[in-house]
Amino acid sequence: MEQLKYSGKAKKNRRLFLLSSFSTSFYNNMLGTGSILMTSYLIYLGATAKDIGILAAIPSLTNVLQVFSVKLYERAKSRKKVVILLTVLQYIFFYLIIVVPKIVTGKYQMIILIGCFLFGNLFIAARGSGVLEWNNFFVPNEIKGKYYSNKNLLGNLVYIIISLIVGKILDSYDSNYQTYLILFLITMFFTAIEITGYLKVNDYKEDLINKPKTSLKQLFTQPLLNRHYRYFMLFSLAWNFARSMATPYYTFYSKTVLTLDYTYIALIGSITCLIKIFVANPFGSAGDKKGWRKLLLFAGMLFALTNIGWGFINNETVFLYPAVIILNGIFMIGTNITIFNLNIELTDDQNRLLFFGFNASITAVFSFIGPNIAYYLMDRMKEVNMSLFNLQINGYQLVFFISGILQGIFIYLFALYLKKMQHKE
């Protein structure tokens, strides 16, 4: 397998995965939960903060199934077949979202929309981390940081292009069904590119053919036997719980409470992504050279601090919005790259998919709870007047404070564990 990573075939496959990643980023930035377009579409359909919280929690809820995804790959004896089939099924349900308003109106409309989100995400969960593991077979260890940083870079380039154009369209035209329909249809072209990329990538199935089938007991116990990965999973579920409390509400808060234009939101986001393009590779290279623990402590703690910064933004302090967004984006890229590579580094080649699936499953439970706890707090804070440093605090800001503080605590504790682990080794 090591020879495969350095072959000419591997180089071609890495490029195809980058192409598919580019197309996936286009879809996610257009229609992902929390994107400008999807948030605007849901507001157009009359979604409330509670609805946004439920929709944001669905991917986390369905990710519980990832622990069983290894069984699909073992049964099919092919990563390629499983990934392509489930990707097609995933998009069928997501594109039904644009059809629903023409079929159902009234109180059942949002219920059916939630159902479409649910089934679409079920297929994503069933696919598990198969794409990541499949991609990883063709990436040499010494360039992992740089390679996956380039994938992040592509995602940021896509965001810059999409957010500015979509933001301008949504501000320039009255909210109407035809506008959303056209934008949804445009994304279909890129989903076709994603699937085409997967079709051209070489499958890797040797380990699946020769490997004995994993028992249900092993699905749950094997990852727990790895002490280092056990601590990583504990950190992962805690950190994702803290993040999930606030992340689904940032765009909704910016539009409904701060009453910012979509164009302005997109412009600040695009400037942030442009900066992230220049810092992604330095972060990845720093992790390869200096180690991921140091990068986690540096980027992760500053990322948590900028998330706390969201708590200081209200209608009187909206001038802080650009600075918080830009700094948040810079340290987000460093934190995400670090956690992504730690997830790979702390697994073993033979059981990587099993480890990824189990981690995603246990993390999902807490990421599902986070947005619902956040909505409960925001709902309770409607009639409460609070102040901090003479700053009036609403329910959203309280949630942003709690989320950022918890993120900082969990990152610091895991960085301490990694330091002790290095000393013992």
Rounded to whole angstroms, the Cα distance separating 22 from 233 reads 28
Bridge partners, residue 388, by sequence: 391
Look at residue 163 and give its three-state secondary structure.
Answer: helix
21-53 tens-digit pLDDT: 877 777 777 777 667 788 888 888 888 877 877
- Residue 56 pLDDT: 73
Q: Does the predicted model carry a pTM greater than 0.95? A: no
| Token pair listed for 8 | 């000419």
3-state helix vs strand vs coil in the chain, percent to 5: 85, 0, 15
Give phi and psi for 386, each to the nearest 5: -130, 155
User: How far apart (Å, rounded) are the C-alpha atoms in residues 357 and 393?
Assistant: 39
**Which amino acid, residue 57?**
A
Which residues lie below 8 Å from residue 3, measured CB to CB, with a gap of 6+?
none
The predicted pLDDT at position 410 comes to 94
Whether the Cβ atoms of residue 400 and residue 258 lie closer than 8 Å to each other: no
Report d(CA 219, CA 31) in Å as an integer.
32
Predicted confidence at residue 49, as pLDDT, reads 76
Answer for the pair 88, 195: CB distance below 8 angstroms, yes or no.
yes
Beta bridge partners of 387: 392
Nearest-angstrom CA–CA distance, 98 and 420: 51
In the prediction, which pLDDT does 85 show? 92
CA distance 375 to 382: 11
**Encoding tokens for residue 87?**
């990707």
pLDDT for 402: 92
What is the per-residue burial (b if ≥16 Cβ within 10 Å, else e) of 76-115? Answer: eebbbebbbbbbebbbebbbbbbebbeeeeeeeebebbeb
Q: Is residue 20 a contact partner of residue 232, using CB atoms and an 8 Å limit? A: no
pLDDT at site 309: 93
CATH number of 2-424: 1.20.1250.20
Tell me which DSSP letter residue 382 carries. Answer: T
- For 410, residues 6+ apart whose C-beta sits below 8 A from its C-beta are 235, 238, 239, 242
Domain boundaries, the chain: 2-424
Please report, in tens digits, the pLDDT of each residue of the chain (425 residues total). 556 676 678 888 888 888 888 777 777 777 776 677 888 888 888 888 778 777 877 877 787 777 777 778 878 888 889 899 999 998 999 888 888 888 888 778 888 988 888 898 888 888 867 888 888 888 887 777 677 777 767 776 777 777 778 777 887 776 788 888 888 888 888 888 889 989 998 888 777 777 667 676 777 677 777 788 888 888 988 998 999 888 878 888 888 888 888 888 888 888 887 887 788 778 877 887 877 888 888 999 999 999 999 989 988 889 999 999 999 989 998 898 888 888 878 877 677 767 777 777 777 777 778 877 888 887 777 665 667 667 777 788 888 999 999 999 999 999 998 888 766 65
Q: Quick count: other Cβ atoms within 10 Å of Cβ 133?
A: 25
| Alpha-carbon gap, residue 97 to 181, rounded angstroms | 10
DSSP code per residue over 279-325: HHHHHHHHHHHH-HHHHIIIIIHHHHHHHHHGGG-SSSSGGGHHHHH
**pLDDT for 37:** 82
Q: What is the separation, in whole angstroms, between the first and last Cα of the chain?
A: 26
CB atoms under 10 Å from CB of 35, counted, come to: 19
pLDDT of residue 141: 76
- The pLDDT value given to residue 385: 63
